[in-house]
Structure 1
Amino acid sequence: MPELKKRALYDTTAPNKSTGIINGESSNILNWDDASKKWAYPMYKNMLRNFWIPDEVSLINDRNQYKELTEEERDAFNKIIGLLAFLDSVQTDFSSKVADYLTDSSLNALMTVLAFQEVVHNESYTYVLSSVTDSQTQEKIFEYWKTDEVLLERNKFIAEGYTAFTENPSKETFVRAIVYDVILEGLFFYSGFAFFYNLARNEKMLGTSKMINFINRDEQLHVTLFANILKETLKENPELDTEEFAAFVREQFKKAADLEIKWGNYVVGDNIEGIHSYELESYIKFMANKRTRELGFGNIYEGYRRNPMKWISVYNDNTTGKADFFETTVTDYNLVDADNDFDSL
């Protein structure tokens, strides 16, 4: 496999502007006005505008409402929080390992911000659980990923894809690992997001759902970052942009969608008022199509071009600032359009 070189700590003989996404020359000194990718600095500014901390969100009402959830809602709530805690913990570490091989110092900076945001996400899960339940239940929830068979199956899918890169870094395993990252941040969160937004539209657990909205917004930027990295890498290394790789992308997204549908049926199914299993399955396929299009590989499912869960659209897929659904007025609620709708293609 083609060799993949780590970024040097500094290089006095190289230019400040990187000559490549990977295996390029770079002094590793960051000058945002001399970054090689014009989209890097606007993305950095957007990530900063999104800055938030869990303590900003009051969970006083959630504490009482958690006790009033149905048994099915409370079980789904716990398991989904357990899932998110695992994914964001792994993502924090993985992002730094990817950054080691990004020649461009501006992209390394973006990955550093991304890793910080994942740490904040994990803090939010601890904050939620410590606010609504006791320490014994919290500890049990953070252990779910070790024992729940359905959870283990989908987590193993991501972990094996990441490990193939971390244990054998090459150009090929690098681009494949980026695909798994987009799956994690752009597909594996979304049945969980739908569950929390469904609670919110029924006036339940609004504080928790507000933090999920913040996390959703961060993750969309992360997807965009990794999608840009993949497309730029393939452009600079055309030998990697093969039909074999395209088939790999489509195959892995189909496997991931099957796992996410299985998880959604397991944790939500038809047991939660307001969400139906057939609707959730269609939504996951819609999101899988959306992600593969964003990567440049077209739809993997015939149809599924429109969001079947239209009510999710009010929790907009915002990448331009900190405003969120929970801070809008009734007028804003009615002004969802093609610029901020989940349906935007």
Structure 2
Amino acid sequence: MLLQEKVKTLEPMYSNKATALFGGKSSGILNWNDLPYPHWYKMYKRLLGNYWQSDEINMSSDIKQFPELSKWEQETFLKIISLLATLDSSQTRTMLLLSLYAADPSVQSILAVIAQQEAVHNESYSYILSSVVSLEKQNNAFEIGRTNPVLLKRNRALMEQYNRFVKEPSVENILKTLVYSTLLEGLFFYSGFAFFYNLARQNKMVGTSTMISYINRDELEHGRFVSELIRAALAENPELNTEGFANWVYAQFKRSVELETEWSQYVLSDVEGIDLEEMAGFIQYRANKMLRMIGLSEIYPENVRNPMKWIRAYLDNFDGTKTDFFEQKSRQYTKVSDLNGFDEL
């Protein structure tokens, strides 16, 4: 297994256009008008267009409503926030580490933006908790991510692969880490997202749900780019683009679906408004969607379409097949400024 070296900062003897995404040569000078994959400039611009900050969200109603939630709802709220914080904490670092091995400067830049957005997500979870519970309860909530046995089981394979890449940064481990990144971005968040969207449709904790919608939108865009990066890297490394690698991907998806289903049944049991069978089908639907984006076949033919009809109201604006959220520019996510005018929102 050939281990990759971290890309040097500036190598003026090489051309500006990278010879390969990973393991290639380039000067390190980024010219957005001369890229091996020109459409990634649009990806970069879309990511920048999603910029937001947590304190833009009005949490005043959530501050009043949180004490009115049942004790069980409050505990579930804290568990899921801990789950999301755990995932985004690891993702911030992993995206930065991956960028160190990307010979293509455009990939370095896009991964840096993704890492920055993951850091914003993580800060937003602290912002949510600081709005509704004491500092002691905030700190206790963040301990759940490293102590809850069901959550640890769910995250084990992900963390093992991320740490394997740190120890052995080969192109193969980079690709496997990118695959697990699509699972994190496109699958592991969704039981948690469903909980907050379900509260919102009961007019509970709408500020938190709005924050989650911003995060959800970002994660979908991250998953889209990482999927494209996987396909491009496999095309550049045909020795890795094998049936064996595809079978490994399928195995990870199947196992991840099982673990996410188990987690959802644990954390969402008895949640009024969420059918656990529908949730399991939705998880399979998300797996099918991510596999298609990577370029592989669906493995759950019974859930090619979204079986959780109610959640479409929260997802279809930016993840549906009918319209492209980023072309549509939904006003739901437009920020107030001197340019757009408050009255137009």
Q: Shared fold (TM-score greater than 0.5)?
A: yes
Q: Which residue does the alignment assign to 1:49? A: 49
Count of matched residue pairs: 327
Q: Is 2:80–2:192's contact at 8 Å kept on the other side of the alignment?
A: yes
Separation in structure 2 between the aligned mates of residue 325 and residue 252 of structure 1, nearest angstrom: 35
Q: Is 1:187–1:284's contact at 8 Å kept on the other side of the alignment?
A: yes
Separation in structure 2 between the aligned mates of residue 116 and residue 142 of structure 1, nearest angstrom: 20
Q: Which residue does the alignment assign to 2:326? A: 320
Q: Output the amino acid matched with 1:303.
A: E
Q: How does 1:136-155 map to 2 (within 5 A)?
A: 136-155=136-155
Q: Output the amino acid matched with 2:262.
A: K
Q: Which residue does the alignment assign to 2:295? A: 296
Q: How does 1:124-143 map to 2 (within 5 A)?
A: 124-143=124-143
**Uncovered stretches (5+) of structure 1, i.e. residues with no partner:** 329-345
Q: Is 2:318–2:326's contact at 8 Å kept on the other side of the alignment?
A: no
SS in 1 for 2:326: coil
Separation in structure 2 between the aligned mates of residue 39 and residue 136 of structure 1, nearest angstrom: 47
SS in 2 for 1:249: helix
Separation in structure 1 between the aligned mates of residue 172 and residue 113 of structure 2, nearest angstrom: 25
Separation in structure 2 between the aligned mates of residue 317 and residue 87 of structure 1, nearest angstrom: 22
SS in 2 for 1:34: coil
Q: Which residue does the alignment assign to 1:337? A: none
**Alpha-carbon shift at residue 324 of structure 1 (Å):** 6.0
Q: Which residue does the alignment assign to 2:123? A: 123
SS in 2 for 1:187: helix
TM-score, normalised to structure 2, is: 0.92
Q: How does 1:219-238 map to 2 (within 5 A)?
A: 219-238=219-238
Deviations 1:174-203 (A, max 9, x none): 111111111111100011111111111111
Q: Is 2:187–2:286's contact at 8 Å kept on the other side of the alignment?
A: yes
Deviations 1:127-164 (A, max 9, x none): 10000111111111000012110011112221001111
Deviations 1:48-71 (A, max 9, x none): 110000010010100111111122
Q: Which residue does the alignment assign to 1:216? A: 216
SS in 2 for 1:142: helix
Q: Is 2:3–2:168's contact at 8 Å kept on the other side of the alignment?
A: no
**Alpha-carbon shift at residue 74 of structure 1 (Å):** 1.5
TM-score, normalised to structure 1, is: 0.92
Q: Is 1:210–1:326's contact at 8 Å kept on the other side of the alignment?
A: no
Residues 4, 225 of structure 1: CA spacing in aligned structure 2 closer, same or farther, 3 A cutoff?
Answer: same
Q: Is 1:72–1:272's contact at 8 Å kept on the other side of the alignment?
A: no
Q: Is 1:213–1:324's contact at 8 Å kept on the other side of the alignment?
A: no
The answer on 1:89 being equivalent to 2:93 is no
Separation in structure 2 between the aligned mates of residue 105 and residue 178 of structure 1, nearest angstrom: 18
Q: Which residue does the alignment assign to 1:307? A: 306
**Uncovered stretches (5+) of structure 2, i.e. residues with no partner:** 320-324, 336-345
Separation in structure 2 between the aligned mates of residue 277 and residue 325 of structure 1, nearest angstrom: 29
Q: Is 1:83–1:145's contact at 8 Å kept on the other side of the alignment?
A: yes
Q: Is 1:26–1:103's contact at 8 Å kept on the other side of the alignment?
A: yes
Separation in structure 1 between the aligned mates of residue 208 and residue 34 of structure 2, nearest angstrom: 40
Separation in structure 1 between the aligned mates of residue 61 and residue 20 of structure 2, nearest angstrom: 50
Q: How does 1:176-187 map to 2 (within 5 A)?
A: 176-187=176-187
